[in-house]
Amino acid sequence: MIRTLRAEAPALLLLMGLALAPFLGFGEGYVLTLLARAMILAMAAVALSLLVGGGGLVSMGHAAMMGFGAYAVVILDDLRITEAAIVLPVAILAAAGFALATGAIAIRTSGVHFIMITLAFGQMAFFTATSLAAYGGDDGYTLYARSTVLGVALLNDRLSFHFICLGALAGTWLLARMLLASRFGRVLRAARGNAVRVQALGFDPYPYRLVAYAIAGGIGGAAGFLLANATEFVAPAYFSWQRSGELLFMVILGGVAGLHGALIGALAFVLLEEWLSHQWEHWRMLFGVLLILSVLFLPRGLAGLPGQLAKGFRRG
Q: Are the beta carbons of 218 and 168 closer than 8 angstroms? A: no
Report pLDDT for 278: 79
Mean pLDDT, the chain, rounded, equals 88
**Looking at this protein, which amino acid is placed at residue 229?**
N
Closest to 73 in 3D by CA, of 258, 275, 225, 235:
225
Q: Could you give the C-alpha distances from 46 to 29, 54, 196, in angstroms and in order?
A: 26, 11, 27
pLDDT tens-digit map of 35-66: 999 999 999 999 999 999 888 899 999 999 99
pLDDT tens-digit map of 185-230: 999 999 888 888 888 888 899 999 999 999 999 999 999 999 999 9
The percentage of residues in the chain with a pLDDT greater than 70, rounded to a whole number, is 94
Q: Are the beta carbons of 31 and 25 closer than 8 angstroms? A: no
**Position with higher pLDDT, 8 vs 86:** 86
The percentage of residues in the chain with a pLDDT greater than 90, rounded to a whole number, is 53
> For residue 100, is pLDDT > 50?
yes
Q: Are the beta carbons of 222 and 170 closer than 8 angstroms? A: no
What mean pLDDT comes out for the span 70-93? 95
What mean pLDDT comes out for the span 101-119? 93
pTM beyond 0.85, yes or no: yes
Q: Where are the alpha helices (DSSP H) in the chain?
A: 2-20, 29-49, 55, 63-78, 84-106, 111-130, 158-181, 183-193, 195-200, 205-231, 241-254, 259-277, 283-297, 305-315
Residue 278: its H or E element:
none
Q: Are the beta carbons of 64 and 126 closer than 8 angstroms? A: yes
CATH match of 2-315 with 3.30.450: no
Residue 149 forms beta bridges with which residues?
Answer: 152
Within 8 A by CB and 6+ apart from 25, the residues are none
For residue 27, name the pLDDT band (cuts at 50, 70, 90): low
What b-and-e string marks burial along 116-132, b requiring 16 or more CB atoms within 10 Å of the CB? Answer: ebbbebbbebbeebbee
Per-residue DSSP letter, 144: S
Per-residue DSSP letter, 28: S
Report pLDDT for 128: 93
What mean pLDDT comes out for the span 226-254? 91
Give residue 197's Cα distance to chain centre. 30
> For residue 125, is pLDDT > 90?
yes
Q: Are the beta carbons of 230 and 37 closer than 8 angstroms? A: yes
Residue 153: its H or E element:
none
> For residue 264, is pLDDT > 50?
yes
Report pLDDT for 256: 82
Report pLDDT for 1: 47
pLDDT tens-digit map of 156-193: 888 999 999 999 999 999 999 999 999 999 999 998 88
Rounded CA-CA distance 220/61 in Å is: 11
> For residue 316, is pLDDT > 60?
no
- Name the phi and psi angles at 148, rounded to 5: -105, 155
Residue 142 forms beta bridges with which residues?
Answer: 233
Report pLDDT for 307: 66
Q: Are the beta carbons of 212 and 98 closer than 8 angstroms? A: no
> For residue 3, is pLDDT > 60?
no
Q: Could you give the C-alpha distances from 316 to 56, 138, 197, 310, 313, in angstroms and in order?
A: 35, 56, 41, 10, 5
